[in-house]
A and B are shown apart, each in its own frame.
Chain A
Amino acid sequence: MFVLVEMVDTVRIPPWQFERKLNDSIAEELNKKLANKVVYNVGLCICLFDITKLEDAYVFPGDGASHTKVHFRYVVFHPFLDEILIGKIKGCSPEGVHVSLGFFDDILIPPESLQQPAKFDDTEQVWVWEYETEEGAHDLYMDTGEEIRFRVVDESFVDTSPTGPSSAEATSSSEELPKKEAPYTLVASGEVGARREGGLCAPICQLGTLVWLLVFPKASGLGSISEPGLGLLSWWTSS
């Protein structure tokens, strides 16, 4: 879930902080700059891990502050592809199920990656997995606040830095002011149903708890395929 990223940056220490230890001032400045921020193509920065190298500090004319080039390592939240994570359902919308980790909110499970068959209940605004057994169909609701296990399938970074006045003709990624895009989004798969080659069944179906058992042949191609074990945790806990 977390990675260590090596970075280099120049840190400016204003004169009134010269009495403090340089390392402390630099650590504070770096945390002020990066903590809880998304860096493009890197991930969500959590906190400073350590400072690996401090180069000479310079004072430039006209500015009394010192400028130090720092090599440091930062703890960044950046789950790798296909990683399994557990989060809480924040809400459902026709776009899919929104999951949150507390410190990171922009996780979406699109409808095609949910357990099939799944339908969206408009009155309750919730996605439902229509699970069928011999006794009949059970509707498993994906309620807000429930813990859910999902697999990270895709990520997207959006450059939200402000565009200058001259770049109006240029970029395809220029955004209109009212639209606010999340700088870092994860796309996940919450499917549960299995499609695997061979394998045997996993029996055990108990009313109220999870179960599924039949294993189907693995489908090839992109996109997530239903997998056993993904979905609400309450679906999978044995009594």
Chain B
Amino acid sequence: MEVALSPSQECKFHESRDQCPFTCCLALHLAHSRKDANSALLSNYEVFQLLTDLKEQRKESGKNKHSSGQQNLNTITYETLKYISKTPCRHQSPEIVREFLTAMKSHKLTKAEKLQLLNHRPMTAVEIQLMVEESEERLTEEQIEALLHTVTSILPAGPEAEQKKNTNDDMTMDEENPA
């Protein structure tokens, strides 16, 4: 299970061989600089999509894959899917995500902030202040309102919010799904 670096190979992420975890259990290339770390971020929707597809694939390939070795994968995919299904990412689609990111360009937020907005779909100014750093310096109240409006209009509501909506009989709200 060990992968050793040959003398001619240089690890591009560490200055010296002593710091390099290459000779531990797995050889890992972990991006160290903030820039690289950000470029590898995945949204909850992407993970949701991936795990759902994986589940379909495994179902299709038959029941003979239920060996004990796959138990860990089963557990983690089940739990992660359960968690993500309760978040607003459930109803997203690639088009919605693309539309959201285009709309976000004007607000000048960092990648991490946009990701959090995408994953959480904040509905109040308080939540925006949590996710956007120094929001009271960077955004005026109108900008925060505009941001909230963009987020709630483009991203579909989470499963819990939809339940609440359905039980509100006296409210006549427009369809929130931005079809």
Interface centre among B83, B116, B127 (most CB of A within 10 A): B83
Q: Which of B40-48, B94-102, B148-156, B169-177 contacts A (4 or more CB under 8 A)?
A: B40-48
8 Å CB interface, A35-72 against B: 35-37, 39-42, 46-47, 49, 69
Assess whether B47 is in contact with A46, with CB atoms less than 8 Å apart.
Answer: yes
Is A182 close to B, CB under 8 A? no
CB distance from B168 to the nearest CB of A (A): 11
Assess whether A3 is in contact with B37, with CB atoms less than 8 Å apart.
Answer: yes
Chain B positions 124 through 137: 1 when the CB is less than 8 Å from some CB of chain A, otherwise 0: 11110111010010
Assess whether A229 is in contact with B70, with CB atoms less than 8 Å apart.
Answer: no
Q: Which residue of A lies closest to B83 (CB)?
A: A102
B75 neighbours in A (Cβ, 8 Å): 36
Is B54 close to A, CB under 8 A? yes
8 Å CB interface, B75-126 against A: 75-77, 79-80, 82-83, 87, 112, 116, 119-120, 124-126
A8 neighbours in B (Cβ, 8 Å): 3, 26-29
CB distance from B40 to the nearest CB of A (A): 4
Is B179 close to A, CB under 8 A? no
User: How many of B's residues come within 8 Å of A, CB to CB?
Assistant: 47
Assess whether B120 is in contact with A41, with CB atoms less than 8 Å apart.
Answer: no
CB distance from B55 to the nearest CB of A (A): 10
Assess whether B131 is in contact with A84, with CB atoms less than 8 Å apart.
Answer: yes
Is A228 close to B, CB under 8 A? yes
By DSSP majority rule, is chain B's interface helix, strand, loop, or mixed?
A: helix
Is B163 close to A, CB under 8 A? no
Q: Which of A115-123, A134-142, A196-204 contacts B (4 or more CB under 8 A)?
A: A196-204
CB distance from B75 to the nearest CB of A (A): 6
Assess whether A236 is in contact with B126, with CB atoms less than 8 Å apart.
Answer: yes
Is A161 close to B, CB under 8 A? yes
Assess whether A47 is in contact with B77, with CB atoms less than 8 Å apart.
Answer: yes
CB distance from B4 to the nearest CB of A (A): 10
Separation of A28 and B125 alpha carbons in the complex (Å): 45
Chain A positions 127 through 162: 1 when the CB is less than 8 Å from some CB of chain B, otherwise 0: 000000000000000000000010100000000010
CB distance from B29 to the nearest CB of A (A): 5
Separation of A228 and B77 alpha carbons in the complex (Å): 33
Assess whether A7 is in contact with B40, with CB atoms less than 8 Å apart.
Answer: no
Is A18 close to B, CB under 8 A? no
Known: A75-B42, A84-B130. A46 touches B80 (CB 8 A): yes
Assess whether B129 is in contact with A39, with CB atoms less than 8 Å apart.
Answer: no
Separation of A199 and B125 alpha carbons in the complex (Å): 13
Known: A102-B80, A229-B130. A3 touches B21 (CB 8 A): no
CB distance from B167 to the nearest CB of A (A): 14
Assess whether A7 is in contact with B28, with CB atoms less than 8 Å apart.
Answer: yes
Separation of A7 and B26 alpha carbons in the complex (Å): 8
Assess whether A10 is in contact with B136, with CB atoms less than 8 Å apart.
Answer: no
Chain B positions 16 through 43: 1 when the CB is less than 8 Å from some CB of chain A, otherwise 0: 0000010011111110000001001111
Is A86 close to B, CB under 8 A? yes
Is B178 close to A, CB under 8 A? no
Interface centre among B70, B73, B79 (most CB of A within 10 A): B73
CB distance from A182 to the nearest CB of B (A): 16
Assess whether B50 is in contact with A47, with CB atoms less than 8 Å apart.
Answer: yes
Can you list 28 contacts pairing A with B, beta carbon distance less than 8 Å?
A1-B44, A3-B41, A4-B41, A7-B27, A8-B3, A8-B26, A9-B3, A10-B1, A32-B69, A35-B77, A36-B72, A36-B75, A39-B28, A40-B25, A42-B30, A47-B50, A49-B50, A75-B42, A77-B80, A84-B120, A102-B80, A102-B82, A103-B79, A103-B82, A151-B130, A199-B136, A227-B129, A228-B130
6 additional A-B pairs beyond A32-B73, A80-B112, A229-B124, beta carbons within 8 Å, are A8-B3, A8-B27, A39-B28, A46-B77, A236-B124, A238-B124
